[in-house]
């Protein structure tokens, strides 16, 4: 059995300088192999202490039982704040709770049905673009997946197709930003080195400013439509007109720009990553690709048909397990505590790593294997509960988790229903972490029409 690719781990012991260089190049390969078995690992340097936790009990403590004691690290915003401002992804405490009270209603179960036509339309448009690529020559699937995911976001958020001039420019600038800026930089782990955030890669700040200007234009146009009573009933309108049930306030224009930036980042980059890896996994496992195609043949692109796509859903879950779009998250201990008999000082960085948790050798059977059937195996229920965090968990679980699962399943069914995907001999993608888990040199696949 050929296992899906994963990066080669670094040697267990390296100098701090070597670790910093490896980390800056790629978060995943900078970590030692022992993290795939360890319940906890402590990292000490002259500048900081951090604790990576895989222990299910500790994860419950940090994410579910006592989340206010482990807020998002202030340093996590060092790399992303130029783009995301004070978005819900970066805030804590009362500000974060107020933001979630406004945002969450737009993604409640009943309202997800309203986003379904936009997802389907983006998938259909994407199939049209794939048709032009379906000539059995090697094609870069990453860019095509990004294009569809961006189209989904603009259609469901602003009722605009990707062909809209402003939407298209935002998309292309995000592509450049994604290549330049990792979701975590060293500043997130070095809280005493205040000079670290200055090390942005070339173009990051300029792209962030340009993206925010474009989003501000879209937001102002929607505010004008709301005032005129002509706004479409999409996600942007729902969020911009929803008052905080406790204060009665709605988002200001500046606050909405911050939120749209994270919606696009979370809804576009993460979905594009997951879709590209799912297509690669199906290309290298044609038996599962045939199962998805068979389900797609029964899918009439109506919301009630989603229940027919059970194998497709399991494939997407397994893709998220093997290649979680956000590989690591960082929290900060607000007070001293004890983890597994070790003292954790106040201010220590608490690293949660879906990448290592999803492949943990003590939690999952055959952790590096692609096996969508595990999601219907009752024996894996404990692993599914304790070892799966593609959208985080607890109060800070991603608001759009349900949306993302619908989007991924629908797009997979649409694409695999119309096309066959096959790997390119000798080209195995190497996972690396930028904004999301991507392939270092891209994912190349052969695409042909399905009879």
pLDDT at residue 451, rounded to an integer = 78
Task: Indicate if the pLDDT at residue 8 is higher than 60.
Answer: yes
Read off the pLDDT of each residue in 236-251 and give the average, rounded to a whole number.
Answer: 96
pLDDT at residue 198, rounded to an integer = 44
Least confident of 69-78, 208-217, 269-278, 317-326: 69-78
Rounded to the nearest 10°, the torsion over CA 142, 203, 84, 411 is -10
CB 415 within 8 A of CB 9: no
Return mean pLDDT, the chain.
89
pLDDT at residue 209, rounded to an integer = 86
Structural domain includes residue 284: yes
CB 430 within 8 A of CB 419: no
Closest CA to 302 of 115, 117, 112: 117
The enclosing domain of 201 has a CATH number of 1.10.630.10
Task: Give 185-211 pLDDT, tens digit per residue.
Answer: 555 555 444 444 445 555 677 778 888
Please give the full DSSP string across 72-87, using - where no structure is assigned. BPGGGGGTTHHHHTT-
Q: Residue 234, by phi and psi: left (phi above 0), alpha (psi -120 to 50) or beta? A: beta
Task: Give 348-368 pLDDT, tens digit per residue.
Answer: 999 999 999 999 999 999 999
CB 292 within 8 A of CB 312: yes
- Structurally, the chain folds into a number of domains equal to 1
pLDDT at residue 197, rounded to an integer = 45
pLDDT at residue 321, rounded to an integer = 98
Read off the pLDDT of each residue in 422-449 and give the average, rounded to a whole number.
Answer: 91
pLDDT at residue 195, rounded to an integer = 45
Pairing verdict, β 342-344 and 337-339:
antiparallel
Task: Indicate if the pLDDT at residue 324 is higher than 60.
Answer: yes
Task: Give 407-418 pLDDT, tens digit per residue.
Answer: 999 999 999 999
Helix or strand run (H / E) with residue 294: helix 286-296
pLDDT at residue 152, rounded to an integer = 95
pLDDT at residue 34, rounded to an integer = 94
pLDDT at residue 202, rounded to an integer = 55
Quote the CA–CA distance of 336 and 344 in Å, as a whole number: 6
- Residue 180 has a CB neighbour count (10 Å cut-off) of 17
- For the sheet with 444-449, list strands across it: 138-140, 444-449, 419-423
- Helices marked H in 54-140: 56-60, 81-84, 93-103, 109-131
Closest CA to 437 of 270, 221, 207: 270
Burial class of residue 256 in the structure, from the number of CB atoms within 10 Å of its CB (0-12 exposed, 13-18 middle, 19+ buried): buried
Quote the CA–CA distance of 361 and 325 in Å, as a whole number: 20
Structural domain includes residue 6: no
Task: Indicate if the pLDDT at residue 226 is higher than 60.
Answer: yes
Structural domain includes residue 11: no
Structural domain includes residue 153: yes
pLDDT at residue 44, rounded to an integer = 82
Q: What percent of the chain has pLDDT over 70?
A: 92
Task: Give 82-119 pLDDT, tens digit per residue.
Answer: 888 899 988 999 999 999 999 999 998 778 899 999 99
pLDDT at residue 192, rounded to an integer = 45
Output the six-digit token pair for 14.
């390296």
Residue, of 207 and 64, whose pLDDT is higher: 64
Task: Indicate if the pLDDT at residue 129 is higher than 80.
Answer: yes
Structural domain includes residue 4: no
**Three-class DSSP category at 134:** coil
Closest CA to 206 of 176, 166, 172: 176
Helix or strand run (H / E) with residue 44: strand 40-44
Structural domain includes residue 1: no
Task: Give 154-184 pLDDT, tens digit per residue.
Answer: 999 999 998 888 887 887 777 777 666 555 5
Task: Give 28-60 pLDDT, tens digit per residue.
Answer: 888 899 999 999 999 887 767 899 999 999 999
Read off the pLDDT of each residue in 272-286 and give the average, rounded to a whole number.
Answer: 97
Q: In angstroms, how far is the first alpha carbon of the chain from the final one?
A: 28
Parent domain of 303: 16-449
pLDDT at residue 376, rounded to an integer = 95
**Three-class DSSP category at 428:** coil
Place of tokens 């939690």: 363
Structural domain includes residue 253: yes
Output the six-digit token pair for 329.
């998250």
Burial class of residue 108 in the structure, from the number of CB atoms within 10 Å of its CB (0-12 exposed, 13-18 middle, 19+ buried): exposed
Structural domain includes residue 3: no
Task: Indicate if the pLDDT at residue 268 is higher than 90.
Answer: no
Rounded to 5°, angle at Cα 437 from 433 and 441 = 75
pLDDT at residue 182, rounded to an integer = 54
Q: Is 398 annotated as a binding residue?
A: yes
pLDDT at residue 308, rounded to an integer = 94
Maximum C-alpha span of the chain:
63
């Amino acid at each position: 059995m050929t296992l899906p690719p994963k990066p080669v781990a670094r040697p267990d012991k390296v100098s701090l300088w070597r670790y910093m260089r490896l980390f800056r190049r790629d978060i995943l390969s900078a970590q030692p192999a022992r993290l795939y078995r360890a319940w906890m690992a402590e990292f000490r340097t002259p500048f900081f202490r951090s604790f990576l936790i895989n222990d299910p009990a500790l994860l419950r403590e940090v994410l579910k039982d006592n989340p206010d004691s482990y807020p998002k690290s202030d340093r996590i915003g060092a790399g992303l704040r130029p783009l995301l401002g004070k978005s819900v992804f970066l805030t804590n405490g009362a500000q974060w709770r107020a933001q979630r009270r406004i945002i969450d209603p737009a993604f409640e179960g009943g309202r997800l049905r309203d986003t379904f036509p936009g997802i389907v339309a983006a998938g259909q448009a994407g199939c049209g673009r794939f048709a032009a690529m379906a000539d059995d020559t090697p094609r870069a699937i990453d860019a095509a997946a990004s294009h569809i995911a961006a189209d989904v976001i603009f259609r469901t958020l602003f009722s605009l197709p990707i062909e809209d001039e402003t939407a298209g420019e935002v998309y292309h600038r995000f592509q450049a930003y994604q290549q330049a800026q990792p979701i975590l930089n060293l500043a997130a782990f070095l809280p005493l080195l205040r000079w670290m955030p200055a090390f942005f890669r070339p173009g990051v700040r300029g792209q962030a400013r340009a993206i925010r200007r474009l989003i501000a234009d879209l937001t102002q146009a929607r505010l004008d439509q709301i005032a005129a009573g002509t706004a479409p009933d999409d996600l942007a309108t729902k969020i911009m007109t929803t008052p905080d049930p406790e204060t009665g306030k709605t988002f200001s224009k500046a606050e909405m720009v911050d939120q749209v930036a994270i919606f696009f980042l979370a809804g576009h980059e993460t979905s594009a990553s997951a879709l590209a890896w799912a297509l690669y996994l199906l290309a290298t496992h044609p038996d599962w690709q045939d199962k998805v195609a068979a389900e797609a043949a029964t899918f009439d692109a109506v919301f009630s048909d989603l229940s027919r796509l059970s194998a497709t859903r399991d494939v997407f879950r397994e893709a998220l397990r093997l290649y979680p779009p956000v590989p690591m998250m960082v929290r900060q201990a607000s007070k001293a505590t004890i983890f597994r008999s070790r003292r954790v000082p106040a201010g220590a960085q608490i690293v949660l790593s879906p990448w290592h948790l999803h492949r943990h050798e003590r939690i999952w059977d055959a952790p590096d294997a692609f096996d969508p059937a595990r999601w219907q195996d009752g024996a894996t229920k404990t692993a599914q509960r304790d070892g799966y965090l593609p959208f985080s968990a607890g109060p800070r679980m991603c608001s759009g988790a349900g949306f993302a699962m619908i989007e991924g399943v629908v797009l997979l069914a649409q694409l695999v229903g119309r096309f066959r995907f096959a790997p390119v001999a000798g080209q195995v993608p190497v996972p690396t972490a930028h904004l999301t888990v991507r392939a270092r040199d891209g994912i190349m696949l052969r695409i042909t029409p399905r009879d």
